[in-house]
Chains A and B, each alone.
Chain A
Amino acid sequence: MKKNIVIVMLLVSFGAISQSKASKKELKKNRPTYIDIAIGKEYSRFVDFATSPLIYSGAQNYISISYNKYDKKKEKEYGFSYSFGDYISDFNEHESISTVKTLSLYYSQLYQLNKFSTKKLNIKIGGLFDATGNFRINESLENNGVGLEIIPTLFGSIKASKYFISRHGKDKELSFRLNIGLINSTFRNGYVYSGQSFLLNKPILESVFDDYQFKVFSGFRMSSALSYTMPLKNKNKIQFSYLWGAYKTGGNFDTFEMANHSIKFTLSFNLNNH
């Protein structure tokens, strides 16, 4: 566990110290800043062994909004994504539908690795914190029909970007980013999934997370993003991305597992004309 923390700190600090302090202020001032607005489609599947051994899958709609400040030396991004849709299990002529809404809040910082970066290829490393919450409703599961879990993860990240010169002399960018969960945690139902608060006349808010347990250093999570970014004449950008993510909870209780494949289109609006 401690080893994971050390790796994250090393990744972040190693990148950070590679920049000279003198140039930092200037770079920061001139670093392009964007608001990214993205829409997309997602194909996902999950299995929640606490209530069913069957795999639920389906297509969802995806949106995200983020604040993004980046150049070749450093990038910082924070924002949220939201996806929603129905997941279906159809086996043995029995169909069940789980309606899922997923909200992710994230913050990321990456620093250039000078040693491995060239004019055409840029390598960055750093970290990403992502807290993902799923709200699921599946009426066929009776009193276990509502599922709610939060998966906060601190990732170690590496991003490789390849630049191509466009006709307008602007850099097009093909990048691949890989995030590996170093501190995986889950906030999830207890042993029998349901809680008993409403039998005890407890307030509704107390019932929502009844018998929930928070586990740190538990489970596994990975994600990645393959993106193709094209600058526009007005300093805005458009981007096409393929995102992939997968996780499974850990601990002694029945696991929850989910995997997503998303195609995303992003409009990046430049805020500081750099």
Chain B
Amino acid sequence: MKIFKITLLAIIFLLTSCEEVIWDKGIETSNPKDNLDYLWKECNEKYSYFELKNIDWDAIKAEYSAKVYDGMTEDSLFTVLGEMLTELKDDHTNLISNFNISRFGTHHLGQDNFDWRIIVDNYLPRDFYISGPFSHSFIANNEIGYVRFPSFTGEIDKKNIDFILEKYKNTKGLIIDLRENGGGQVTDIFKLLSRFVEHETLLYYSRIKNGPSHNDFSEASPAYVEPYDGIRYKNKVAVLIDRGTYSAGSFTALATKALSNVVLIGDTTGGGLGLPNGGQLPNGWTYRFSITQALTLDKSPEYENGVPPDIRVAFDWNNLKTDEIIERALLELQ
């Protein structure tokens, strides 16, 4: 047994040595410059909207490299790296630590256009329905259905949407309120829109980064939606949007441009048409940024800066009894 033990130890030692030779070393470090360089390089090679947003990423590196130094606090380093990411003007771009999360805040680009309390107090009955992620009721003398959809939680299912469309099937029109909808599960988009198309419809294109240059992308791939084999709504639909409509909300707004029975009302969306990735820095913080581009039907990425409404309307905060965007939608649907 002695020989066995010696042999075992010798082999473990030998193989562990082999392992060190085969492996690249991990690069765990709290060094500020190493972390800035790592984050800058990841973005430089994989972020998808440098050209559209006309961002000089080299100049940004020079600017922010000058702000880091050995011995700076974690909080200070976070501020520098977070501000560097904010230069991408993209709310799909965040730096995440256990003490802070950096963000851009696209909703600050325009005025606030939504107050749920005003809608509840002035448009909805007290006992409005809540079906899954949707809050809804008849409004305007029961002629219009109003559906509030605040977040793409992945909870849209056959039952809740069947219930809603069955309930409002005889209305003149339907309002789907996506204001301040920050996004979520993309799969909800297609479950929702499949109820408003009568034939397979091309909604938009998407392409993904496939190389380190700023313009290295895959071919544009089409996104189609097929009509749901069941209850569908065939009258006119008004989708309400604002700067807080982001990510999956913006994708929905972009997609409705291809649907002739849908009109977009409100303010330009916040954008967020790039799929965010996820990764970790050498110091353990995590980050994310956009790695795809959604393209319009004429293959332009410009709606990353916001999907414009078909009818632009702003909220009047001097009148807290009226939602001007809903009022404009009622005008459009009646």
Task: Show the binding face of A for B, using Cβ within 8 Å.
Answer: 47, 49, 51-55, 89, 91-96, 140-145, 174, 176, 190-196, 198-201, 211, 220, 222, 224, 226, 228, 242, 244, 246-248, 255, 257, 259, 261
Contacts and interface: CB of A to CB of B under 8 A. Distances in A.
Contacts of B46: 191-192
B41 to A, nearest CB: 11
Contacts of B294: 199
A193 B278 CA distance: 9
Given A51-B279, A211-B208, A91 B284 contact: yes
B15 interface: yes
Given A47-B26, A142-B286, A224 B278 contact: no
A255 B26 CA distance: 11
B277 A55 contact: no
Given A54-B26, A89-B280, A144-B277, 6 more contacts: A51-B278, A143-B277, A191-B46, A192-B277, A222-B18, A257-B22
B223 to A, nearest CB: 5
A174 B283 CA distance: 45
Contacts of B275: 143, 194, 196, 199
Contact of B278 (A54, A142, A248): A142
Contact of A49 (B18, B24, B206, B223): B24
The secondary structure that dominates the B interface is: mixed
Nearest to B187: A198
Contact of A54 (B28, B208, B224): B28
Interface in B239-298: 251, 275-286, 288, 291-292, 294
A199 B282 contact: no
Contacts of B206: 196, 199-200
Contacts of B279: 51-52, 141, 144
Q: Which 10 A-B pairs have the closest CB atoms?
A: A142-B278, A94-B284, A52-B280, A55-B26, A144-B278, A141-B278, A53-B27, A92-B284, A192-B291, A244-B15
A208 to B, nearest CB: 14
Contacts of A140: 278, 280, 286
B68 to A, nearest CB: 16
Contacts of A194: 208, 275, 277, 291
Contacts of A261: 12
A101 to B, nearest CB: 20
B282 A54 contact: yes
B283 A201 contact: no
Contacts of B209: 191-192
A257 B281 CA distance: 18
A257 B222 CA distance: 35
Interface in B133-183: none
A52 B26 CA distance: 9
Contacts of B277: 142-144, 192-194
Contacts of B235: none
A113 to B, nearest CB: 21
Contact of B4 (A55, A190, A200, A228): A228
A213 B15 CA distance: 30
A259 B19 contact: yes
Contacts of A142: 276-278, 286, 288
Nearest to B207: A196
B22 A94 contact: no
B47 to A, nearest CB: 10
A176 B30 CA distance: 42
B28 A53 contact: yes
B249 to A, nearest CB: 14
Contacts of A201: 190, 223-225
A259 B23 CA distance: 9
A246 B18 contact: yes
Nearest to A244: B15
B44 to A, nearest CB: 13
A222 B38 CA distance: 30
Contacts of A211: 208
B17 to A, nearest CB: 11
A192 B210 contact: yes
Contact of A191 (B97, B211, B221, B225): B211
B72 interface: no
Given A92-B284, A144-B278, A195 B26 contact: no
A142 to B, nearest CB: 3
Contact of B283 (A49, A91, A191, A257): A91
B55 interface: no
Given A55-B26, A91-B284, A211-B208, A199 B292 contact: yes
B185 to A, nearest CB: 9
Given A94-B98, A201-B224, A242-B11, A53 B186 contact: no
Contacts of B208: 192, 194-196, 211
B22 A246 contact: yes
Contacts of B282: 53-54
